[in-house]
Amino acid sequence: MRMHLRRKRPESWEEQRGRVKRAWALPFWWIEYQTEWMAYLLSNWTFLEVLEYLSSFGVLIAVIFYFAESGDRLKQKHFQAWQVINTAQGKGGNGGRIDALQELNADGVPLVGVDLSMAFLQGIRLKKANLSRANFAGADVRDAEMHGANLENASLRSANFRDAKMHGASLRWSVLDDADFTGAELRDTDLTGASLENTDLRSANLEGAKWGELRSVKGTNVYGVKKAPPGFVGWALGHGAVQVKEE
């Protein structure tokens, strides 16, 4: 807050004029003298001091209202994000969904059951997102960053997750049939009870992955799988998986 300072009374014009050495400068000194008196009179006007206090008080009130309404603004922001997502359901393309999903996840909003079928989500960042029962059928999710995401009971059928980074994600009882996970980072993922029928796992990193109770690996391509858990490749080949190099 600015302090209201009372100014010192100006000298008389005779005193100031006596210090003027050149006649041509006299008009300029006269103007300066008049403005000094104006500043002096205004500085002693109590009404202006009151206005200063009111101005500072108004700023304080604005700050209080800003923080008081922050919850409503956040709700409005989330509402608009969900509108973007829901409006684009079942449609191809991005449609603003990447930004909307990332904003909701950053604010800790669960994305349970969200329908992202056929969406273009390449490079999306949804670390530790709660996407249980989500529908990614036919979606393009290449190069996604989904470390630690919860995708339990989700549908990833025919989705493209090439080179996706899904370290520590949970895919328990999810459907990955016909999905493409070529080169994906699947370290420490939980695939318990998942269905991997015709899934492309070529060059995927499966180090530390849990694979108990897999429902199906028929037609799954395990060619070049990296650091597969002990016994996984042999078991998969014995249950209908294949090793095919072709692109």
Looking at per-residue pLDDT, the higher value among 157 and 35 belongs to 157
- Mean pLDDT for 48-77 is 65
Backbone angles phi, psi at 226, to 5 degrees: -95, 135
Is residue 180 in a domain? yes
Q: Which domain holds residue 63?
A: 13-68
**Same domain membership, residue 119 and residue 55:** no
- Mean pLDDT for 38-46 is 64
**Same domain membership, residue 222 and residue 170:** yes
Structure-block tokens of residue 220: 């799954």
Looking at per-residue pLDDT, the higher value among 39 and 20 belongs to 39
Residue 118: partners with Cβ closer than 8 Å, 6 or more residues away? 90, 91, 92, 137, 138, 139
Q: What is the CATH number of the domain that holds 236?
A: 2.160.20.80
User: What's the structural domain count of the chain?
Assistant: 2
What are the pLDDT digits (tens) for 68-114? 655 667 888 898 999 999 988 877 777 799 999 999 999 999 999 99
What pLDDT does 93 receive?
79
- Mean pLDDT for 48-67 is 62
Is residue 158 in a domain? yes
Using a pLDDT cut of 70, give the percent of the chain over it: 73
Round to whole Å and give the CA distance between 228 and 219. Answer: 17
**Same domain membership, residue 119 and residue 46:** no
List Cβ<8 Å contacts ≥24 apart for 92-100: 92/118, 92/119, 92/120, 93/119, 93/120, 94/119, 94/120, 94/121, 95/119, 97/121, 98/123, 98/124
Structure-block tokens of residue 100: 């909307």
**Same domain membership, residue 210 and residue 107:** yes
**Same domain membership, residue 172 and residue 120:** yes
**Same domain membership, residue 104 and residue 32:** no
Residue 63: partners with Cβ closer than 8 Å, 6 or more residues away? none
Residue 1 has pLDDT above 50, yes or no: no
| Predicted structure pTM score | 0.71
Using a pLDDT cut of 90, give the percent of the chain over it: 62
In contact, 222 and 236? CB cutoff 8 Å: yes
Neighbours of 48 (CB within 10 A): 11
In residues, how long is the chain? 247
Output the CA–CA distances (angstroms, integers) from residue 152 to 18, 156, 174, 192, 240, in the order listed: 92, 11, 6, 10, 24
Residue 192 has pLDDT above 90, yes or no: yes
- Mean pLDDT for 2-6 is 54
What average pLDDT is seen over the chain?
86
What are the pLDDT digits (tens) for 102-151? 999 999 999 999 999 999 999 999 999 999 999 999 999 999 999 999 99
In contact, 173 and 194? CB cutoff 8 Å: yes
Round to whole Å and give the CA distance between 100 and 77. Answer: 9
What pLDDT does 199 receive?
98
Positive or negative, the CA dihedral 78, 116, 148, 150 is positive
- Mean pLDDT for 173-192 is 98
Neighbours of 171 (CB within 10 A): 25
What pLDDT does 73 receive?
74
